[in-house]
Amino acid sequence: MKSDTIFTFLSSILLLKTTNSLTQPTSRRSVIQKGTATIAATFTFLDPQHVAAQAEDVLPTAGSKPKEFINVGTQAPPPDGESAFIELSNGVKVKDFRIGTGDEVVKGNSQNVMIQCTGRLLNLNGVIFYSTKNNNPDGFGAIPLTVNLGKGEVIPGLESGLVGMKKGGIRRLIIPANLAYSKYPELEPRPTNANDQRALDSVVKNTRRDATIMFDVQVERFR
């Protein structure tokens, strides 16, 4: 499977519903109560609207949101046995989906860090405002974004989230507004077209909206 296919798959993980098991009755009264509840539940279950609602809860749909859009890294325990987000000292939350290879890791002053990344607006249900996949002028593959860390070129939240990653690693970052475009609107990554810029502006320039953003990042190489 190609790395960009894995990257796309990992960046669109959906929330599945979990259910709790019922306890067994221990008395005659509890048996009667359970029987009455079962009859009522049966009629409710047969109601078409109820069935449709349950289907929407359990089955993923095209409009389903990734777990992070609903409850960003605060699940306890994390759903389906997944690892939790790790919160950095500056408030950025990170979760690794693939560690990568080699002994070298991205440092705070690493140069020519080449990444594939997709940025989403959590306040707009995950609308994409930036993606290196759109940078494919010759049709031979997306050209990565190249950044130099420690020089003020990229938003601080993304820069700190890259530190510690290995070549080929894939990481999800949740970046608070004060480390993103609300305070640093001129820094990279910048939207590459007018529509994406309008989407970003609709959140960043509206003080009533939460300008927290999410980036899925894959490191291609660095030095």
Is 58 within 8 Å of 47 (Cβ atoms)? Answer: no
The DSSP line for 142-179 is: PPPEEE-TTTT-B-HHHHHHHTT--BT-EEEEEE-GGG
Give residue limits of the domains in the chain. 28-58, 67-221
pLDDT of residue 192: 92
The amino acid that residue 8 corresponds to is T
User: Residue-wise over 1-25: b if at least 16 C-beta within 10 A, else e?
Assistant: eeeeeebeeebebebeeeeeeeeee
Asked: is 67-221 a CATH 3.10.50.40 domain? The reply is yes
Q: For each of the chain's 223 residues, which pLDDT tens digit applies?
A: 555 554 554 454 433 333 333 334 444 454 445 445 544 444 444 444 443 444 343 333 434 455 555 444 433 445 565 678 999 999 999 999 999 999 999 999 999 999 999 999 999 999 999 999 998 888 888 999 999 999 999 999 999 999 999 999 999 999 999 999 999 999 999 999 999 999 999 999 999 999 999 999 999 999 8
Is 210 within 8 Å of 123 (Cβ atoms)? Answer: yes
52: three-class secondary structure by DSSP: helix
Tokens of 168: 């080929």
pLDDT of residue 57: 39
pLDDT of residue 84: 84
- Torsion angles phi and psi, residue 55, rounded to 5: -65, -40
Sort 151 into a burial class: Cβ within 10 Å, 0-12 / 13-18 / 19+: exposed
The amino acid that residue 221 corresponds to is R
Is 106 within 8 Å of 162 (Cβ atoms)? Answer: yes
What is this structure's pTM? Answer: 0.66
List CB contacts of 127: < 8 A, sequence separation 6 or more. 120, 121, 199
pLDDT of residue 3: 52
pLDDT of residue 95: 95
What is the C-alpha separation between 42 and 88, in angstroms, rounded? 48
Quickly tell me which residue has 């067994």 as its tokens. Answer: 24
Tokens of 134: 């759109």
